[in-house]
Structure 1
Amino acid sequence: MSFPYDLILFDLDGTLIETAPEIADAVNDTLKQLGLPTVTQQQVNHWIGHGTRELLIQALAFVTHTPADTVRRDPGFAEKEAVFGGHYQKRCGTRSHLYPHVREALVALRSAGVKLVVMTNKEGRYTETVLNAHQMAPLFDLVISGDTFAVKKPNPMGIDESLKRFGATRDRTLFVGDSSIDIATARNGGLAVWAMPYGYNMGEPIAASQPDRVIPDFSALTSLLTGFEPGHREQQTP
């Protein structure tokens, strides 16, 4: 059977790469330098999704028992964010890894002529560092980060830009992610959306967000390339 998509957009953290451990390391490096209590890995997992800036805000709000809006308005927040940035740049690639079948699936899709896009809420400087740490950047035709535009996911601007850039139609474009933010982004952009069950999603089961499919790993994408119907390997959502 012919491959049904000309363009696929992928979330980054929790979809392509397991990054939570080194993000937690960087957050705790920052908190320690600021003389503040540290947070747990599970807390960091639940805060992932809105970009590292927002994650740091949530961590600072939690450990200082301060409303997140107060942290955002803090004149000293930019300095704290810079401290985090230094730690995160050093941590990138130290405890992250690609999920199963990701690299081989991306290589196969590119070989078949499918255009591939990363669309993440992670800030561009960190997105670039993470992709380069895993030699992933050459596999993508476009990278859209949380600060590429004035808005970020779940706003569909990145989808619209990708469709325009590659001349793709919505019915032949797929979004692959791991969170309710990704599901909402795809819906807002009029795309089909497949979800990975191993990501973060603020601690909630991804099936509850009702993607079109929950697939066990990236081999479901390459199964379509070879003409093998992967229906027996995926969980269909209600």
Structure 2
Amino acid sequence: MHAILQGKRLIAFDLDGTLIDSVPDLAVAVQHALGDVGLPLPGEERVRDWVGNGAQVLVERALTWALAEAPGQVLQTTAYEAFMRHYGAAPNALTQLYPGVQTALHDLHKAGYPLVLITNKPERFIAPILSHFGLLTLFTYCIGGDTLAEKKPSPLPLLHVAQQLDIPSSACVMVGDSRHDIDAGKAAGFATVALPYGYNHGEPIEHSQPDLIIDSLLALTE
């Protein structure tokens, strides 16, 4: 195992942009939601830069782009409900695991590390997606963006799982692809590991100064 895991007893993972490339399915749902309210469609590449802060913010960013101004509450609610309906109907149609994820997670689980998922994606989508890829049983806890009162970059979800498992923050690692993951990890006292291939709003992940940057999750098992 990688040296950063020495003495560690818990590994937390982000989902979108870390374990899965979900943008294709998210983009389809955004396009349908905006189409339902008669607004222009942004395309997948724009959506890629909007992912990472949860579904509400994703929809708000899409509406702001389409309107060239902040949306009103009624339109925000209508579009959000449409997005949730469309995304919930097909969250796995185009989503793929990143290379090495399946093997790395299984190897870490076999090595005895408790694995937890901490994502800003709404909780209702976590189990269907992880089950689709045969990963759900590997995780001890799964925390969504609406599970607790706060989501990343707040450290609350990270501190919550550490407390639930009675593991000190100093013995925990946060693995993610965005500044929200790294900021949350640092604030919680976790070691931080970053992947450069995900969704970080066009900002190089090294700007967040994680403890370690790796190109693949497989690096954690070597």
TM-score band by shorter chain is: over 0.9
Structure 2 residue aligned with 1:184: 183
> Aligned partners of 2:86 and 2:131: how far apart in 1?
17
Alignment of 1:43-62 (within 5 A): 43-62=46-65
C-alpha deviation, 1:56, in angstroms: 0.6
> Aligned partners of 2:155 and 2:57: how far apart in 1?
19
How has the CA–CA distance of structure 1 residues 38 and 76 changed in structure 2, closer, same or farther, with 3 Å as cutoff?
closer
Name the amino acid aligned to 2:58: L
> What CA deviation, in whole Å up to 9, does each residue of 1:93-135 have, x standing for no partner?
1111111111111111111110101001111112233223322
> Aligned partners of 1:113 and 1:203: how far apart in 2?
35
Name the amino acid aligned to 1:189: A
Name the amino acid aligned to 2:186: R
Give me the CA root mean square deviation.
1.5
> Aligned partners of 1:210 and 1:115: how far apart in 2?
25
TM-score of the two chains, using structure 2 as the length reference? 0.93
Alignment of 1:80-95 (within 5 A): 80-95=79-94
> What CA deviation, in whole Å up to 9, does each residue of 1:29-65 have, x standing for no partner?
1112222110022211111110011101110111012
| 8 Å CA contact retained: 2:63, 2:76 | no
> Aligned partners of 1:34 and 1:91: how far apart in 2?
20
Q: Are 2:141 and 1:138 equivalent residues in the alignment?
A: no
Equivalent pairs: percent with the same residue?
37
> Aligned partners of 1:24 and 1:202: how far apart in 2?
15
> Aligned partners of 1:32 and 1:129: how far apart in 2?
25
Q: Are 2:68 and 1:65 equivalent residues in the alignment?
A: yes
| 8 Å CA contact retained: 1:121, 1:152 | yes
Structure 2 residue aligned with 1:41: 44
Q: Are 2:23 and 1:20 equivalent residues in the alignment?
A: yes
Alignment length (residue pairs): 219
The SS at the match of 1:203 is coil
Structure 2 residue aligned with 1:236: none
TM-score of the two chains, using structure 1 as the length reference? 0.87
> What CA deviation, in whole Å up to 9, does each residue of 1:174-222 have, x standing for no partner?
1000001111001110111010010010011111111111101011111
The SS at the match of 2:18 is coil
| 8 Å CA contact retained: 2:175, 2:192 | yes
> Aligned partners of 1:210 and 1:94: how far apart in 2?
34
| 8 Å CA contact retained: 2:159, 2:169 | no
> Aligned partners of 1:128 and 1:78: how far apart in 2?
24
Name the amino acid aligned to 1:147: D
C-alpha deviation, 1:90, in angstroms: 2.2
Alignment of 1:1-238 (within 5 A): 3-4=5-6, 5-67=8-70, 71=71, 73-223=72-222
C-alpha deviation, 1:76, in angstroms: 4.2
The answer for unaligned runs of 5 or more in structure 2 is none
> Aligned partners of 2:192 and 2:31: how far apart in 1?
34
| 8 Å CA contact retained: 1:92, 1:133 | no
C-alpha deviation, 1:162, in angstroms: 1.3
